[in-house]
Amino acid sequence: MSDFVDVMDFLPALTIIFAMGVFVAGFASMVSSFGRYRWRAVGIAVGFVILQQTMRILAISKPEYNYLLNFTFFNPFDPEGLVNVFNEDYEQYWQFWQYGMQGTIRLSGLGCHGILLGFGLLCYLIGSWRFSRRDLPAPI
How many structural domains comprise the chain?
1
Fill in the DSSP letter of residue 105: E
Q: What is the pLDDT along the chain (140 residues), one digit of tens a residue?
A: 557 777 788 888 899 999 999 999 999 999 999 888 888 999 999 999 999 999 999 999 998 998 888 889 888 888 888 888 888 877 777 888 877 777 777 788 888 889 999 999 999 999 999 988 876 665 66
- 18 located within any domain: yes
- 123 located within any domain: yes
Burial (CB count <10 Å: 0-12, 13-18, 19+), residue 49: middle
- 56 located within any domain: yes
Supply the range of the domain harboring residue 36. 7-131
Q: Decide: helix, strand or coil at residue 119.
A: helix
- 136 located within any domain: no
- 97 located within any domain: yes
